């Protein structure tokens, strides 16, 4: 996956369910082809199979710390996701926090399976702690700004700078409140390699227009 990257989390919004999810993945693919910028998607589990057919990176929204497929009713197993063509997973999103030891196990499972780990953190201190586990990405997302429309890269740039420093050689994504191209520019200027967002695209009146604006800003750094 080339950098910078825009990762769109579909969450469990009605606007990203069923055929609406498929259309949104299609829109992301169109913007990728138009701008030549990496866009990855995190659909609901019910749409993962259809999403991978579009040929852009698809991540799950969560995995459980289970190494191999087996009798784990109701669990999300990375091995099975990989068989579908899923590239990786979010871990420890603010809406699905897990204990540190489970974060470590999930990173290990994804790494051993050749999959991408995108771990979320609420503070720069947590970024540093998670970065010690060597995930592929750490996304800094202050919970109070998630879904607010107020970007952390604008409202609290010092947190992004502290996170980049704390992460060392681990790549940092900027999350929480990303909605505009300017948010992307500021995030990249602060040393991140991309953004993680959800409602700014999924709930937009015109998701494609928003994606085009984000992609145009990211392309300036390609």
CATH number where 59 lies:
3.20.20.70
179: containing domain: 5-219
Q: Residue 196: which of 169, 165, 220, 160 has the closest Cα?
A: 160
Q: Taking the mean position of all CA atoms in its chain, how far away is CA 166?
A: 19
Query: Within 36-156, where are the H helices?
Result: 48-51, 78-84, 100-112, 124-131, 152-155
Torsion of CA 189, 190, 192, 194, to 10 degrees: -50
pLDDT of residue 3: 96
Angle at CA of residue 161, ends 158 and 166, nearest 5°: 120
Digitized pLDDT (tens) for each residue of the chain, 222 residues in all: 899 999 999 999 999 999 999 999 999 999 999 999 999 999 999 999 999 999 999 999 999 999 999 999 999 999 999 999 999 999 999 999 999 999 999 999 999 999 999 999 999 999 999 999 999 999 998 766 555 556 666 667 889 999 999 999 999 999 877 889 999 999 999 999 999 999 999 999 999 999 999 999 999 976
Q: Taking the mean position of all CA atoms in its chain, how far away is CA 198?
A: 9
What's the sign of the alpha-carbon dihedral 114, 190, 35, 146? positive
pLDDT of residue 156: 74
Tally the domains of the chain. 1
pLDDT of residue 149: 59
Q: What is the set of active-site residues?
A: 93, 141
């Amino acid at each position: 996956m080339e950098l910078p990257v825009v990762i769109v989390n579909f969450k469990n919004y009605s606007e990203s369910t069923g055929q609406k999810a498929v259309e949104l993945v299609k829109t992301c693919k169109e913007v990728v082809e138009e701008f030549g910028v990496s866009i990855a998607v995190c659909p609901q589990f019910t749409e993962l199979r259809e999403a991978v057919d579009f040929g852009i990176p698809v991540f799950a929204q969560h995995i459980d710390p289970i190494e191999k497929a087996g009798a784990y009713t109701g669990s999300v197993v990375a091995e099975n996701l990989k068989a579908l063509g899923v590239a990786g997973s979010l871990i420890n999103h603010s809406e699905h926090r897990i204990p540190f030891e489970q974060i470590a196990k999930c990173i290990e499972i994804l790494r051993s399976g050749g999959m991408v780990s995108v771990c979320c953190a609420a503070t720069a201190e947590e970024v540093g702690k998670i970065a010690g586990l060597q995930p592929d990405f750490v996304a800094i997302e202050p919970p109070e700004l998630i879904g607010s429309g107020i970007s952390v890269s604008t409202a609290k740039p010092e947190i992004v700078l502290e996170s980049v420093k704390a992460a060392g050689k681990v790549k940092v994504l900027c999350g929480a409140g990303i909605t505009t191209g300017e948010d992307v520019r500021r995030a990249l200027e602060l040393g991140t390699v991309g953004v993680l967002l959800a409602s700014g695209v999924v709930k937009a009146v015109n998701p494609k227009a928003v994606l085009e604006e984000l992609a145009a800003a990211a392309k300036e750094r390609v």
